[in-house]
Amino acid sequence: MTKKTETVVIGAGPGGYVAAIRAAQLGQKVTVVEAEHIGGVCLNVGCIPSKALITAGHRYQEAQHSDFLGLRVKEAALDFTKTQQWKDQQVVKTLTSGVGMLLKKNGVDVIMGRAKFTGPQSLTITTKTGEEKLEFKHAIVATGSRPIEIPGFAFGGRIVDSTGGLNLKEIPKKLIIIGGGIVGSELGGAYRNLGSEVTIIEGAENIVPNFESDIQQLVANKFKQNGVEIYTNAKAKKATETTDGVAVEFEVKGKTQTIEADYVMVTVGRRPNTENLGLEKAGVTLTERNLIKVDEQYRTSQKTIFAIGDIVEGLALAHKASYEAKVAAEVISGKNVAKDYRAIPAICFTDPEVATVGYTLAEAKAEGIKAQTANFPMQANGRALSLNATEGFVRLVFEAETELILGAQIVGVNASDLVAEITLAIESYLTLEDISLTIHGHPTLSEMVMDACEVGLGLPIHM
């Protein structure tokens, strides 16, 4: 028997489940097809569980190093099995079951299986019990991405991707990370705080290469202070499992070196999940990078099919996928909306945290904009001092003549939360004066945004 629905969403990650719920809220009959786990990579083996391990590492370090507060802990012991149970049961399971409940509450049908297009308005779903056929008016493809496997580092055993790295049964005494981007740096920091000796091998000139050089330097310096060994401009060649570990061969400055560890984690990027979907039968066109071509409303070359998230051009960010999900669902529902990437924050949960949004100064100048920056240091903020977290700064990028806020780079405690105010400011076309005239609570970290605006206006109070 062939089932029918108005809109089918393939994938139930932060793009797919949001698209399904929004489409249902707007009156559509919606079916979600998910091959593995409700919540996708982000909730199950990505954003959420990684932050849980990062939090555990921070708490462990705080328990060991709180003498400056007058607090002395006789002994801080870490039960990693319990840590992993908390991560899986209290964090991941709570969120994923909550998403399942939201889908049900909104009347979304969920089918666990693998979908494959048989035409522009039909597909088959392979489930554990057999095969189902589904016809639809519209489809939203949100199948996400997976870790890249590089030559010489086939996943298995002690050679793991980020998913395997999040689910280790033990804390490695020594851990090698191939790739010092956001994921590698976040997990490297987490395991260092949990007690591992960590080595990062990065092919670029600096770790976290997508950020500005002064930000890269702050993160790298903190890693080095914590005993993390970093090799940059390095090429990983191969990994060989030994009796009780793994040996990694890499080249740096023309010399080949070999180091050993308990595990090696490869975090060199992700590739889109666009294979085996039958997209050719649906008339959907791909780019040279196997991404799906979409227009301003996320419509593919086949007008009945939309695509969002990691499988389309742009940053592979969960919040970007969720934004795109709402646009696609609203377009299908008849609304005249289109994408607007004016302000997409990017966040790295290293120590210190990094968050950016909008233009950097260099990017603004490259666009021909006469821009300036205003910086305010964390060490001048009362709340940061009381948290003993004074590393970093808030930097605003603004148009020189109009004082319109164009972007920001934040490094330091709670940067991930502080960036929200500036994201809203950019979206709302606010100026330095708009924020400086906004009363901020005291003592708070958010005052630094106001203080940075006052620096830009030439009227700083706290500098």
pLDDT of the residue at 379? 98
User: Which tokens sit at 432?
Assistant: 């330095």
Taking the CB of residue 156, how many other CB atoms lie within 10 A of it? 10
Q: Which residues are tagged catalytic?
A: 442
pLDDT of the residue at 73? 87
pLDDT of the residue at 135? 98
pLDDT of the residue at 143? 98
Domain 159-268 has CATH 3.50.50.60: yes
Select the CATH number that applies to the domain covering 352-456 from these four: 1.10.10.10, 3.30.390.30, 3.20.20.70, 3.40.50.1970: 3.30.390.30
Same fold, 2-146+271-332 and 352-456: no
pLDDT of the residue at 150? 97
Residues 169, 172, 176, CA angle at the centre, nearest 5°?
120
Name the region of 269 (left: φ>0; alpha: ψ -120 to 50; beta: rest): left
C-alpha pair distances (Å), 132 with each of 1, 114, 135: 8, 10, 10
Separation CA 445–CA 9 (nearest Å): 40
User: Which tokens sit at 428?
Assistant: 């709302």
pLDDT of the residue at 216? 98
Separation CA 301–CA 306 (nearest Å): 9
pLDDT of the residue at 72? 87
| Three-class secondary structure of residue 92 per DSSP | helix
Q: Average pLDDT per run of 10 along the chain, which is 463 residues long?
A: 95 98 98 97 97 97 91 91 98 98 98 98 97 98 98 97 97 98 98 98 97 97 98 98 96 96 98 97 96 98 98 97 98 97 97 98 98 98 97 98 98 98 98 98 98 98 94
C-alpha pair distances (Å), 426 with each of 155, 389, 396, 400, 451: 42, 27, 11, 15, 17
Q: Give the length of the chain.
A: 463
Q: Of 419, 418, 415, nearest to 407 (Cα)? A: 419
Query: Running DSSP on this structure, what letter comes out for residue 428?
Result: T
Residue extents of the structural domains in the chain: 2-146+271-332, 159-268, 352-456
Q: What CATH number labels 2-146+271-332?
A: 3.50.50.60
Burial of 210 (0-12, 13-18, 19+ CB in 10 A): middle
Separation CA 89–CA 367 (nearest Å): 48
- For 323-346, the DSSP string reads HHHHHHHHHHTT-------S---E
Outline where 1-154 has alpha helix (H): 16-25, 40-45, 47-64, 80-85, 93-105
Give bridge partners of residue 410 from the DSSP assignment: 355, 394
Q: Is 238:265 a contact under the CB 8 Å cutoff?
A: no
